[in-house]
Structure 1
Amino acid sequence: MSEASIPKEWSDCQVGMIADVIAGGTPKAGNPDNFAEPGSGIAWLTPADLSGYKQKFISHGARDLSQAGYDSSSAKLMPKGSILFSSRAPIGYVAVAANEISTNQGFKNFVLPNGVDSSYAYFYFRSIRDLAESLGTGTTFKEISGATAKTLPFVLPPLAEQKEIATRLDDLLAQVDSVKTRLDGLPAILKRFRQSVLAAAVSGKLTEEWRKENKVAFDWNPFLIEDLACEKKYSLGIGPFGSNLKVTDYRDHGHPLVFVREIRAHSFGGEGTKFVSTSKFNELKAHRVEPGNILITKMGDPPGDVAIYPLDRPKAVITADCIKLSVDESKATTNFVYYSMMSECFRAKVFDISGGVAQQKVNLKKFKKLNLDIPSLPEQAEIVRRVEELFAFADQVDLRVTEAQGHVNHLTQSILAKAFRGELTEQWRKENSDLITGENSATALLERIKSERANQKPKNKTRKKKA
């Protein structure tokens, strides 16, 4: 970070100029006597302990070191307030030691001098994660060395301003986290909304007022799945068994195959599409799927995902564990049957007729005997119209939520960048000039830190804890 990008009252330096950079270590992992339950031994961290960790301070990891494990390794105790910075797998996790703590070799830890606020340093190191990652080297995984860690830039404001910046970041980023939490909860709410729409649709509640306005009686009748199928010979069935369709039959072009994963993702075609030859396509006539057919997954956890094969796709062949249904439009519309099968009520019926140990699979004979409650064709059309209207609204909200999540995810780094350009405390500096000048200036602070470090006697940095 260049001096031109920070306030004139601040100083630029490198981490190695102000802090001791200390790595960690790990005892022999195969010896359980080297480890202890959290809180019962010597606190010890690995980068995995910081994965998903959102607090500033940390007191221990998933397990402690025993005294024997600590003594047999190169792990070192960091004093309270040290910055714990992961240097590999991945680079850039950061936390502040809430107490004396050690780490494995996946850290470069920064022991701060008097005059550097640990909360300020915590936020600063969060802000340079991308820079630290760019300096990593290695083939198996990227890592920054101790020598590289010492050259990381550090922006040093006067101590009073460091504390002001940390306080403001605590408040601002807490607000950002609160907004992010609410946004992250919206997809689940939208999912429940869609299911409530489907529940109302298949129970008749969605069109209750419509029936009154149109003087239509509630006249819904149960139909078996097999009775809703077209009278065509192959209108309801499953994909071919392995003896009829093998991996060796796959081609790079020809007639496409449809897999279970495509039904789940509602995405057909693309780079992963496989094909069969025309002769194989003709041989598998019973397993063909046409645009507009309903497709159901026969296996999964749980099974019963449903999709409509798109109208713009060519005729294809379903693979094993896919069920196809061509609906008799004189009895029911394809879209009404599709939405009925999407409902939790129907999915529960599918689960009840499924079995298996490793994975649940639908029994096709029992599937054919499942029933759907079907209203008149005009009411089906009205239900489909209303469901699609409400789903379109939910899709719009979903899109806006995704956009908002993207903005919020960038907001944290934007706030951090402003903080370390001095923009958050610009007015504060004008109002508190006595706290950032003379003996309180960053220049004077940096000189004191350098002088104190130069006067320190050489010492062994391995601060081993006494038994």
Structure 2
Amino acid sequence: MKELPNGWAVVKLGNLLESIVGGSTPSKANSSNFRGSIPFMTVKDMTERFPNKTVDKISKEALLKMPSGLAPKDSLIISVRMSLGKIVRPRFATAFNQDLKVLNVKKGINKTYIEYFWRSKWNEIQLLGTGTTVKGIRLDDIRNFEVPLPPYAEQLRITEKLDSILELAGRSRERLNRIPGILNRYRQAVLEAATRGSLSAKWRKNNIRIFDWTEVELGSVVEDFSYGTSSKSEKKGDIPVLRMGNIQQGKLNWDQLVFTSDPVEIEKYKLSSGDVLFNRTNSPELVGKTAVYKGERAAIYAGYLIRIRCGDALDPEYLNYCLGSPQGRDFCWQVKADGVSQSNINAKKLAGFKFCLPPLDEQIEICRRVKILLDFGENIESRYKATLDRLDKLIPSLLSKAFGGGLLPQNEKDEPAEILLAGIESYYASVSDVPKESSYQKRKKMKSTKESLKEIIDQQSSEKFTFADLLESSGYDYESLKELVFDFLDSDSPPIRQIFDTVSREIRLERI
């Protein structure tokens, strides 16, 4: 760890926590455990910093059997198995499963500072994950993280600054995430205009041409359809075998290739420049995607593709645009045969695709214009990806600066972290150093305090009240009151019982 500013200290995370509490899962053999209204958090609910709900709910009976009980509202909840590095602060009290832990921060340490520290350790957390199928992080590794701890006032300044910057970053990300959808609609609008005649209307007017497009079936304007090879490909070989994954947004992508060296296969399935490749088997959303092979390098094609060889009256790129247009996508959706997880369109169905065919010179002009417009869209997409990449790098950079003391100027008047830590240590030592009573003294005192507590319970203004209400009105310390309450609950004739309040979503006590 690099040198820190004056007044900072390096402390193990475990020394800044009161406890790390693990969750559990009610028995799924009893289906009634999951027929309730109590939030039950799992990794799938950790999709935002401040979750507002959970997918699963459990019953109050299930909750009462869980050792961990409810994590209070705004607890720091981390994932220790699967999706390592995630941390959330739910806006509600929630039960949680065994893949999650609650970090209970000591008094005197800013909770948000610890939250951001955990976020800053994302890469290290991934490296610490162990396990073959599901990676997890050990409690000792969590406790042993070294935290650069500034004075308390500096903790507040850092978290306020990070909150402000990251809120702006979040808004920027929301706006950026709209761009792919906008670009997709833009591309579809371009192809719609291209294949309906409006994109080339001005060209026809300037060239004194009438609208002489004719509707044709694909089978009438191509030389043939051919299915690709079903032979197994290899990681290395003489020439690539193009597969459905190599067709991306109407173009061939030459990444993640497989190969063949079989001369018979190469001769039978070799591609010629201008061949259109149609993806005949894929998910319902992707089946029917196309690209034009332009002779970039020698290649053959795999069995999930159909090679279309166009006739003299049909430009291959124009056919590619037609099949990728809203009309073409709708055709694929209508004729596909759905299986368990994939859909299929055979060559016979493909041959029945109807579309409007302009004269060849107009097709060429349309393709020229479409390319210009789609290139413009790709330029915007490249800029979008570059901006998103910079934004992704900004957050780790900010966190690194924050926990190295470089985010904000230091204030020499701040009380050093060492004094803060000494105060925290003194406080917790005073709590734990209360002299222990003998068993006889405890029984004698408990008898009298039980009677007093019973009177306090009877004096509560409502039949239902919280442990905090009882703590405030009784004047007892937390641990003593907890012991008395549990002793009441375990007695043969308890004056109170535990209930789950569905309105406030918290455990309450009810006078009997």
Normalising by structure 2, we get a TM-score of: 0.75
Superposed CA RMSD: 3.3
Does residue 1:45 correspond to 2:41, yes or no?
Answer: yes
- Alignment partner of 1:352 out of 324, 334, 337: 334
- Alignment partner of 1:362 out of 322, 327, 345: 345
Aligned residues: 437
Give 2:425's aligned residue. 450
- Indicate conservation of the 8 Å contact 2:235/2:258, yes or no: no
Does residue 1:83 correspond to 2:76, yes or no?
Answer: yes
- Indicate conservation of the 8 Å contact 2:24/2:97, yes or no: yes
- Note closer, same or farther for the CA distance 1:76–1:200 as it changes in structure 2 (3 Å cut): same
Moved more, 59-68 or 184-193: 59-68
Q: 1:187-207: CA deviations, max 9, x gaps?
A: 221121111111111112112
- Alignment partner of 1:384 out of 367, 373, 380: 367
Determine helix, strand or coil for the equivalent of 2:178: helix
Q: Where do 5+ consecutive residues of structure 2 fail to align?
A: 434-478, 490-496, 499-512
- Note closer, same or farther for the CA distance 1:82–1:153 as it changes in structure 2 (3 Å cut): farther
Amino acid at match of 1:155: P
Query: Per chain length, whose mean CA-contact separation is higher, i.e. which structure has more relative contact order (CA < 8 Å, sep 6+)?
Result: 1
- Alignment partner of 1:371 out of 344, 354, 368: 354
Q: What is the rounded CA distance, in whole Å, between the counterparts of 2:304 and 2:159 in structure 1?
A: 56
Question: What is the CA-CA distance between 1:81 and the residue it aligns to?
Answer: 4.8
Q: What is the rounded CA distance, in whole Å, between the counterparts of 1:159 and 1:269 in structure 2?
A: 55
Q: What is the rounded CA distance, in whole Å, between the counterparts of 1:296 and 1:236 in structure 2?
A: 13
The correspondence of residues 136-147 of structure 1 with structure 2, limited to 5 A, is 136-147=129-140
Q: 1:284-319: CA deviations, max 9, x gaps?
A: 5xx664232112123331432111123133363x54
Amino acid at match of 1:47: V
Give 1:192's aligned residue. 185
- Note closer, same or farther for the CA distance 1:78–1:224 as it changes in structure 2 (3 Å cut): closer
- Indicate conservation of the 8 Å contact 1:260/1:321, yes or no: yes
Give 1:23's aligned residue. 21
Moved more, 445-454 or 130-139: 130-139
Determine helix, strand or coil for the equivalent of 1:373: strand
- Alignment partner of 2:291 out of 307, 313, 318: 307
Q: What is the rounded CA distance, in whole Å, between the counterparts of 1:156 and 1:248 in structure 2?
A: 58
- Indicate conservation of the 8 Å contact 2:230/2:302, yes or no: no
Give 1:157's aligned residue. 150
Amino acid at match of 2:13: V
Question: What is the CA-CA distance between 1:404 and the residue it aligns to?
Answer: 1.2
Q: What is the rounded CA distance, in whole Å, between the counterparts of 2:346 and 2:77 in structure 1?
A: 55
The correspondence of residues 33-72 of structure 1 with structure 2, limited to 5 A, is 35-36=33-34, 40-41=37-38, 43-50=39-46, 53-56=47-50, 58=51, 61-72=54-65
Normalising by structure 1, we get a TM-score of: 0.81
Determine helix, strand or coil for the equivalent of 1:149: helix
Does residue 1:273 correspond to 2:258, yes or no?
Answer: yes
Q: Where do 5+ consecutive residues of structure 1 fail to align?
A: 230-234
Moved more, 265-274 or 92-101: 265-274
- Note closer, same or farther for the CA distance 1:95–1:385 as it changes in structure 2 (3 Å cut): same
- Indicate conservation of the 8 Å contact 2:79/2:86, yes or no: yes
Give 2:441's aligned residue. none
Q: What is the rounded CA distance, in whole Å, between the counterparts of 2:200 and 2:339 in structure 1?
A: 41
Question: What is the CA-CA distance between 1:406 and the residue it aligns to?
Answer: 0.8
Compare CA radii of gyration and give the structure with the larger one: 2
Determine helix, strand or coil for the equivalent of 2:28: coil
Amino acid at match of 2:28: G
Question: What is the CA-CA distance between 1:408 and the residue it aligns to?
Answer: 0.6
Determine helix, strand or coil for the equivalent of 1:404: helix
- Note closer, same or farther for the CA distance 1:353–1:114 as it changes in structure 2 (3 Å cut): closer
Q: What is the rounded CA distance, in whole Å, between the counterparts of 1:354 and 1:142 in structure 2?
A: 40
Give 1:341's aligned residue. 323
Question: What is the CA-CA distance between 1:210 and the residue it aligns to?
Answer: 1.9
Question: What is the CA-CA distance between 1:140 and the residue it aligns to?
Answer: 4.1
Amino acid at match of 1:332: L
Question: What is the CA-CA distance between 1:175 and the residue it aligns to?
Answer: 0.7
Question: What is the CA-CA distance between 1:84 and the residue it aligns to?
Answer: 1.8
Moved more, 59-68 or 445-454: 59-68
- Indicate conservation of the 8 Å contact 2:158/2:407, yes or no: yes
Q: What is the rounded CA distance, in whole Å, between the counterparts of 2:224 and 2:141 in structure 1?
A: 65
Give 1:238's aligned residue. 226
Moved more, 344-353 or 264-273: 264-273
Give 2:378's aligned residue. 395
- Indicate conservation of the 8 Å contact 2:235/2:257, yes or no: no
Amino acid at match of 1:411: L
Give 2:9's aligned residue. 11
Question: What is the CA-CA distance between 1:254 and the residue it aligns to?
Answer: 6.5
Q: What is the rounded CA distance, in whole Å, between the counterparts of 1:197 and 1:79 in structure 2?
A: 53
Give 2:404's aligned residue. 421
- Note closer, same or farther for the CA distance 1:294–1:15 as it changes in structure 2 (3 Å cut): same
- Indicate conservation of the 8 Å contact 1:23/1:104, yes or no: no
- Indicate conservation of the 8 Å contact 1:294/1:309, yes or no: yes
Q: What is the rounded CA distance, in whole Å, between the counterparts of 2:390 and 2:234 in structure 1?
A: 43
Question: What is the CA-CA distance between 1:90 and the residue it aligns to?
Answer: 3.0
- Indicate conservation of the 8 Å contact 1:37/1:63, yes or no: no
The correspondence of residues 276-291 of structure 1 with structure 2, limited to 5 A, is 277-279=262-264, 289-291=271-273
Give 2:277's aligned residue. 295
Determine helix, strand or coil for the equivalent of 1:205: coil
Give 1:126's aligned residue. 119
Q: What is the rounded CA distance, in whole Å, between the counterparts of 1:49 and 1:108 in structure 2?
A: 14
Give 1:232's aligned residue. none
Give 2:201's aligned residue. 208
Q: What is the rounded CA distance, in whole Å, between the counterparts of 1:443 and 1:254 in structure 2?
A: 67
- Note closer, same or farther for the CA distance 1:152–1:254 as it changes in structure 2 (3 Å cut): closer
Does residue 1:182 correspond to 2:165, yes or no?
Answer: no
- Indicate conservation of the 8 Å contact 1:257/1:274, yes or no: yes
Q: What is the rounded CA distance, in whole Å, between the counterparts of 1:363 and 1:91 in structure 2?
A: 44
Determine helix, strand or coil for the equivalent of 1:143: coil
Q: What is the rounded CA distance, in whole Å, between the counterparts of 1:14 and 1:255 in structure 2?
A: 56
- Indicate conservation of the 8 Å contact 1:351/1:362, yes or no: no
- Indicate conservation of the 8 Å contact 2:314/2:360, yes or no: yes
